[in-house]
Amino acid sequence: MRGGDRTIAVEAAGPGVTLLRLDRPEVANALNTRMGLDLLEFFDGLNADPAAARAVVVTGAGARAFCAGGDLKQRNGMTDAEWQDQHLVFERMVRAWRACPIPVIAAVNGAAFGGGCEMVLLSDFAYAAETARFALTEVTLGIMPGAGGTQLLPRAVGAARAREILLTGRPFGAAEAMEWGVVNAVFPAETLLDRALDTARAIAANAPLSTRQIKQAVNVGLQMDVASALMFEIEAYNRLVPTEDRREGVRAFNEKRRPDFKGH
């Protein structure tokens, strides 16, 4: 990242697996302008070179929070123009995260409020620690979610539940998040990251072209009518037929061995 005051930490966590930590634990990993730029750079890099990883796990540094949302200390005293300039960075980051062709798993290790909750929703799916808390509190601050919350939350939990969460700003726990569809599973805090990484490694062991085509088929198909989505699925499927990975998968099955996928 840019110099010594980076706000994220990136490390390899096994073949094809990248671990991304939101790394401002002293302020509950709050999202400031620099973090927005660092996340934009990270996801732009994956969008430009999807072969650089096969799965990504996002978590927060420290035990306190995944991400507490926008850094209100930095925002205090901003002019309207400065606020909107900062939000433009966040908007670009959201588009890059959402467009990432590589599967992204959120490991929610603590509070995920405001923009932090939206990061969870931007991910392909999420696991949470038993102690995790979620909220979209923007309505209590005189603003509204602007990083996908009003659109992604209803798709996860249904419109009526989403309105309740968005209009009250009330927090909810990990058990509710799983019941409502915000996260897929809840684990003890001490095992959360290992479980998320295990899943990421399972994804990374599969054919990377297949995982990227599946992700695209799901995300794009959900925006279409069913007939069009089924046609889109076939187009995605047919792109895999002439690949070496498809041939390797069939060979490995018949030779009773694990396939060695190369991503081409």
Q: What is the pLDDT along the chain (264 residues), one digit of tens a residue?
A: 344 588 999 999 999 999 999 999 999 999 999 999 999 999 999 999 999 999 999 999 998 999 999 999 999 999 999 999 999 999 999 999 999 999 999 999 999 999 999 999 999 999 999 999 999 999 999 999 999 999 999 999 999 999 999 999 999 999 999 999 999 999 999 999 999 999 999 999 999 999 999 999 999 999 999 999 999 999 999 999 999 999 999 999 999 999 999 999
Helix (H, G, I), strand (E, B) or coil at 231: helix
Res 5: pLDDT? 82
Contacts of 167 (CB under 8 A, 6+ apart): 139
Strands 8-12 and 17-22: antiparallel
Burial track 140-151 (b if 16+ CB lie within 10 A, e otherwise): eeeeebbbbbbe
- Position 2 scores a pLDDT of 43
Give the domain ranges of the chain: 8-204, 208-254
Q: What is the DSSP string of 68-135?
A: --B-HHHHTT--HHHHHHHHHHHHHHHHHHHH-SS-EEEEE-SEEETHHHHHHHHSSEEEEETT-EEE
CATH number given to 208-254: 1.10.12.10
199: which 2 tokens? 């899943």
The Cα 259–Cα 250 span in angstroms is 8
CATH fold match for the domains 8-204 and 208-254: no
The structure's pTM equals 0.94
Which uninterrupted H or E stretch holds 145? none
Protein fold of 8-204: 2-enoyl-CoA Hydratase; Chain A, domain 1 (3.90.226)
The answer to whether the beta carbons of residues 93 and 43 sit under 8 Å apart is: yes
